[in-house]
Structure 1
């Protein structure tokens, strides 16, 4: 490979796998330059991409910051392409928020790890206040939210929560939040 795209962490610290980052960014650039062919990378792919951690990898904050900017660009392009059914997406997000605390998402399985229910429900209250009342919450607040571990049925399963938060981010972006 040629010059590094980002600063490295050093030999004794871990960062994102350089090769994986470079391959993803090359693919994103090809899709961007080609106008975004069907089946290509979307803002969702950029938001949910994950990389392995390696010694002497790329510094995580630098890569994450670049991914945020790339995601913003893809969202902007997707919005110009036409609002597919944004109102339906917003209605689905709001409907989940109307559920009672502790009942918004599927519970974890016996001995499994998930997200602490109280933490997720608190973020859901903040999302509701933002979407309904216009109270301050940013896309980055949702995108970078962290939850404590909830074991077994004392936690929500991670995948449905993560998928829902992706939809919340989409709705907030489309609203210009």
Structure 2
């Protein structure tokens, strides 16, 4: 049973399954404190999903904790990498990761990602393109942009040719967050 790590929603609303959340955070804590670094990565934290149940944990609170946990695992990986290979090697690795983003960032607005499949809704292309322009400004001129801003970005829903398929956008932004966290 849950030990109450987070607030719960009322019994009529849905939230994350408390037992699943508690188990995941207990495992993450054990790995972070004692386990091998390879047992859980920031990518694993980013990809975790929990069932929704009545009276579950408030999703926003759990999501915020997951964001902090991901940042902690990135910081740990950075420290371990720098300790063995040095700061210049870390920056070279981040630069290489950032370069993998440039292929899409260099495309014109409206053409960065494929549209959704027939009749499927996707993201409003103009909204995604605006965030991509902010990423370009960050990489090219050092304009301020935090990983939390990219994570918190929301896009209007859209169907048709002025939409981008969600999965490729989400995967691309996850990589961008990883690069930003590596610098923060």
* Matched-pair contact (CA < 8 Å) for 2:2–2:18: no
Determine the C-alpha separation between the residues in 1 that align with 2:152 and 2:36.
26
Equivalent pairs, count: 175
Segments of 5+ residues of structure 2 without an aligned counterpart are 82-89
1:29: which partner in 2?
29
Secondary structure at 2:50's aligned position in 1?
coil
Instruction: Please show how residues 94-133 of structure 1 align to structure 2 within 5 Å.
Output: 94-133=102-141
TM-score (norm 1): 0.89
Q: How far does residue 2 in structure 1 lie from its aligned partner after superposition?
A: 5.2
Determine the C-alpha separation between the residues in 2 that align with 1:55 and 1:2.
14
**Structure 1 pair 24–3 and aligned structure 2 pair: CA distance change class (3 A):** closer
Segments of 5+ residues of structure 1 without an aligned counterpart are none
Alignment of 1:164 with 2:172, yes or no, is: yes
Secondary structure at 2:144's aligned position in 1?
coil
Secondary structure at 1:7's aligned position in 2?
coil
Determine the C-alpha separation between the residues in 2 that align with 1:36 and 1:86.
23
* Matched-pair contact (CA < 8 Å) for 2:135–2:145: yes
Secondary structure at 2:161's aligned position in 1?
helix
Determine the C-alpha separation between the residues in 2 that align with 1:174 and 1:81.
12
CA deviation profile, 1:127-155 (whole Å, cap 9, x unmatched): 11122112222211101111111214332
Determine the C-alpha separation between the residues in 1 that align with 2:168 and 2:28.
26
1:20: which partner in 2?
20
Comparing 49-58 and 138-147, the one that deviates more: 49-58
Instruction: Please show how residues 55-74 of structure 1 align to structure 2 within 5 Å.
Output: 55-74=54-73
* Matched-pair contact (CA < 8 Å) for 1:108–1:154: no
